[in-house]
């Protein structure tokens, strides 16, 4: 299976996605650093940035921005690796190979998931590290550092949340395959992450462990449906 995944990365020139992810991570790190230390629209009376009036921690910004960015990134990869190949008839040629459709489809989904997951984890860690580094040079931060980089639970939570976020891209993939549209997959990924960051009764859906868990299970079911669709019929 891993050979098939490597072939997918080679075929789609994974180096350009590595470059894209690196640029995106750099932009996110700079933006979060700017928000934390440069301030946004200071209140003339208190000197406190308007966006920091509620003493919101930096993790809110980091989690929101990285999740949105790399869920859309994953949807773009799904659109290229899978949906576009159906539209360009490339997938039909691959299905003539002496490899089951199931393995081909799983390898494509896994290739996107692994790359997007690693990129998202790297983005979160780098953003937090940059803000933490800034604490050594700036006394005041608009958004307090509300996570500990020395706490093992922080890393475990980051891994689990990142895995859950990228799994949600399977729902976007399903929508894109049903609509036969790459744009539908990308737009739906944005809507899904906005939904995940919503609030009910003042409580964040993202912070509720049950909502992401349920969505992850649902997302895996959608991934299974996508594989089943590839096994049973061509999407043209």
pLDDT tens for 4-49 read: 899 889 988 999 999 999 999 999 999 988 888 775 545 555 555 5
Q: How do strand 203-204 and strand 199-200 relate by DSSP bridges?
A: antiparallel
pLDDT reading at 199 higher than 60: no
Question: Which residue is it, tokens 């020395």?
Answer: 150
Question: Which residue is it, tokens 């690693």?
Answer: 118
Q: Which has the higher per-residue pLDDT, 156 or 234?
A: 156
Q: What's the chain's average pLDDT?
A: 82
pLDDT reading at 56 higher than 90: no
Q: Report the C-alpha gap between 58 and 61 in whole angstroms.
A: 5
Q: What is the pLDDT of residue 99?
A: 79
C-alpha dihedral, 98 to 1 to 166 to 145, nearest 10° = -160
Burial of 60 (0-12, 13-18, 19+ CB in 10 A): middle
Question: Which residue is it, tokens 């390898």?
Answer: 107
Q: What is the pLDDT of residue 21?
A: 96
Rounded percentage of the chain residues whose pLDDT exceeds 90: 36
Q: Report the C-alpha gap between 56 and 74 in whole angstroms.
A: 28
Question: Which residue is it, tokens 């895996």?
Answer: 220
Q: Which has the higher per-residue pLDDT, 161 or 124?
A: 124
What is the number of other CB atoms lying within 10 angstroms of the CB of residue 27?
Answer: 13
Nearest to 121 by CA among 166, 171, 158: 158
Q: What is the pLDDT of residue 72?
A: 92
Q: What is the pLDDT of residue 195?
A: 73
Query: What is the per-residue burial (b if ≥16 Cβ within 10 Å, else e) of 114-143?
Result: ebbbebbbbbbbbbbebbeebeeeeeebbb
Nearest to 71 by CA among 180, 221, 171, 182: 171
Kindly indicate the confidence band of residue 84, based on its pLDDT and cuts at 50, 70 and 90. Answer: confident
List alpha helices for the chain, DSSP H: 2-11, 14-37, 58-78, 84-87, 90-94, 101-134, 152-167, 169-179, 182-196, 210-232
Kindly indicate the confidence band of residue 174, based on its pLDDT and cuts at 50, 70 and 90. Answer: very high
Distance of CA 212 to the CA centre of its chain: 13
Give the model confidence (pLDDT) of 107-151 as tens digits. 999 999 999 999 999 999 999 999 988 887 776 666 778 888 989
> 154, 59 in Cβ contact below 8 A?
no
User: For the chain, first and last CA: distance in Å?
Assistant: 26
The region, left, alpha or beta by phi > 0 then psi within -120 to 50, assigned to residue 49 is: beta
Kindly indicate the confidence band of residue 53, based on its pLDDT and cuts at 50, 70 and 90. Answer: very low
Q: What is the pLDDT of residue 42?
A: 53
pTM value is 0.85
How much is the average pLDDT of 222-228? 90
> 166, 71 in Cβ contact below 8 A?
yes
Q: What is the pLDDT of residue 192?
A: 80
> 51, 41 in Cβ contact below 8 A?
yes
């Amino acid at each position: 299976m891993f050979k098939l995944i490597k072939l997918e990365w080679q075929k789609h020139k994974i180096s350009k996605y590595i470059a894209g992810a690196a640029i995106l991570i750099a932009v996110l790190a700079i933006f979060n650093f700017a928000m934390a230390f440069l301030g946004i629209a200071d209140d003339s009376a208190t000197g406190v940035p308007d966006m920091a009036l509620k003493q919101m921690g930096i993790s809110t910004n980091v989690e929101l921005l990285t999740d949105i960015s790399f869920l859309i990134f994953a949807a773009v990869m799904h659109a290229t690796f899978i949906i576009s190949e159906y539209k360009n008839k490339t997938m039909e040629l691959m299905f003539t190979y002496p490899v089951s459709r199931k393995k081909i489809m799983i390898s494509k989904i896994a290739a996107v998931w692994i790359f997007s997951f690693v990129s998202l984890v790297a983005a979160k860690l780098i953003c937090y590290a940059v803000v933490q580094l800034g604490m050594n040079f700036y006394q005041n931060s608009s958004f307090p550092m509300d996570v500990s980089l020395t706490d093992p639970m922080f890393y475990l939570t980051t891994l689990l949340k990142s895995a859950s976020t990228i799994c949600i891209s399977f729902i976007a993939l399903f929508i894109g395959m049903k609509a036969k549209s790459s744009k539908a997959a990308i737009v739906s990924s944005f809507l899904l992450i906005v939904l995940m960051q919503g609030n009910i009764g003042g409580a964040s859906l993202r912070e509720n462990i049950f909502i992401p868990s349920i969505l992850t299970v649902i997302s895996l079911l959608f991934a299974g449906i996508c594989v089943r669709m590839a096994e049973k019929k061509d999407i043209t």
